[in-house]
Amino acid sequence: MDSFEVLISEQEIERRVRALGQEIMADYAGKPLTIVAVLTGSLVMLADLMRQVAMPHRVALVQASSYRGARTTAGDLAVSEAFLVDVAGRHVLLLDDILDTGRTLSEIARRLESRQPLSVRSAVLLRKIGRQVVPFEPDYIGFTIPDEFVVGYGLDFDDDYRHLPYIAVYRPGAS
Ligand code: 5GP
Ligand code: MG
């Protein structure tokens, strides 16, 4: 049987996202802000976070897929450019569910930088320790977690379990 061990509760997430929203609001008050969220894992956090950032701001989505496995290299990340909105003259806050190797965020940040934004900063719900291969420092971090595979609150295993309201360590069963 698959096993789920709750790592971060619904209440802890709620509290932390509210605090991040306050921080972001203080930092971007009066500035043109666009939150660019990476599909699909950051959707749940985006929905919660944007309602905590109680000031005018825009939201955009970007699709990125990495081809995982032994052959994965930095060049293997596909970002669908069609999703990239006009960020010229705006501050960008890139949002993702988890920073693992750092490839996804560093590559999307690089692409956004070339579109004349006023600034590009980043926020992640989770930062996994001990896996990073590309130097990248998120500006806002929800929680730092050990090197375990987690699901819930937007994060999936094989596209499932995103609906869980908490973050759990997922261990697949034998079957
Ligand atoms: P990176 O490019 O930093 O290696 O990978 C980030 C992406 O890998 C995340 O957006 C997420 O889709 C996936 N990922 C990395 N670690 C985990 C994990 O523990 N659980 C889940 N569900 N996805 C993960
Ligand atoms: Mg993802």
Q: What is the CATH number of the domain that holds 116?
A: 3.40.50.2020
In a domain? residue 108: yes
Residues with CB under 6 A from ligand 1: 41, 66, 96-104, 128, 149-151, 155-157
**pLDDT tens sequence for the chain (175 residues):** 889 999 999 999 999 999 999 999 999 999 999 999 999 999 999 999 999 999 999 999 999 877 655 444 545 778 876 667 889 999 999 999 999 999 999 999 999 999 999 999 999 999 999 999 999 999 999 999 999 999 999 999 999 999 999 999 999 886 5
In a domain? residue 46: yes
The C-alpha atoms of residue 145 and residue 33 are separated, in whole angstroms, by 28
In a domain? residue 167: no
* Active-site choice (96, 100, 139, 158): 100
Active site residue 100: yes
The residue whose CA has the least distance to atom 16 of ligand 1 is 100
Count: domains in the chain: 1
What is the C-alpha R_g of the chain?
16
DSSP H helical segments within 30-119, as ranges?
A: 43-52, 103-113
